[in-house]
Amino acid sequence: MGSESPLHSPFYGRSSRRPHVTEEISRTKNNSRSVDQKYQTPKINQNGYCYELNGCLFLLLHHLGFRVSIISTRVAGKQGTFSPEYDHLVLLVNLEKRWLADVGFVDSFTRPLDIDKTLPRRDRQHHYTVTGDRNSRLVSRRMLNHRSWQPVYSFSLRPRNLADFRSRNIFQQESPQSHFVQGPVISQLTKTGRVTLTAEKLVLTRGNKRTERQVRNPAEFGVELERHFQLKI
């Protein structure tokens, strides 16, 4: 991948979505996040979600001299529906090609996607593709050895500002309809798959194998949190 920045390495280091990314965790009014150009970066071992993680990556890439813009996406739901605009924040980076970067979406692509290339590209246990036209694009994926494609999210190429996400950011933190307020969620990549922990269950994915184990109480949640994420509460 060529680079038009002062850096000689690709803009999206291979470690960007590797272990150490805490992607989602519950939030409350007493622990609210703002979406502002004067971005408050999550502290080490502190939780974050797309507005923070991709927002911080945007500021970093911009500071390093990359041509990067913020993009709004609508996340795919059930029965062909999509969430409202500004539901998810991703980045579009212009090098010799145009690349979609996303470090804030659980269980998604780990390396940037060429938005002008429709051929499927393998990323861990899935194939990904970007389809569409000048006005809108759709990211889809399918599991290896499967034929059925599933939509991930749709987006337009219109650049946005961090402040544009303010209302949706408040919704994500305070609305009873937001999955972010339903309970704690923490997820991270591993060398062989992914580990996800909620207040109710622990999910371990290794290759194509997925196992679930019930979390019976807060004490057990704390034990699993320390065991798999090296975090204490």
Does residue 102 sit in the same domain as residue 195? Answer: no
Global pTM value: 0.77
Q: Is residue 166 in a domain?
A: yes
CA distances from 233 to 24, 46, 72, 199, 219 (A): 16, 11, 33, 13, 10
- From the CB of residue 107, how many other CB atoms can be counted at a distance below 10 Å? 18
Does residue 136 sit in the same domain as residue 220? Answer: no
Does residue 94 sit in the same domain as residue 190? Answer: no
User: Does position 157 have pLDDT exceeding 90, yes or no?
Assistant: yes
Q: Is residue 22 in a domain?
A: no
* Total domains present in the chain: 2
Q: Is residue 122 in a domain?
A: yes
Does residue 55 sit in the same domain as residue 169? Answer: yes
Of 211, 209, 210, 213, whose CA–CA distance to 198 is shortest? 213
Rounded to an integer, the average pLDDT of 79-90 is 94
- Find tokens 């991930």 and name the residue: 152
Give percent of the chain with pLDDT exceeding 70: 79
Q: Is residue 15 in a domain?
A: no
Which residue, of 177, 192, 207, is where some domain finishes? 177
71 band by pLDDT with thresholds 50, 70 and 90? very high
User: Does position 8 have pLDDT exceeding 50, yes or no?
Assistant: no
What range defines the domain where residue 214 resides? Answer: 183-229
Rounded to an integer, the average pLDDT of 9-26 is 37
User: Does position 45 have pLDDT exceeding 70, yes or no?
Assistant: no
Pick the more confident residue, 208 or 224.
Answer: 224
Does residue 100 sit in the same domain as residue 127? Answer: yes
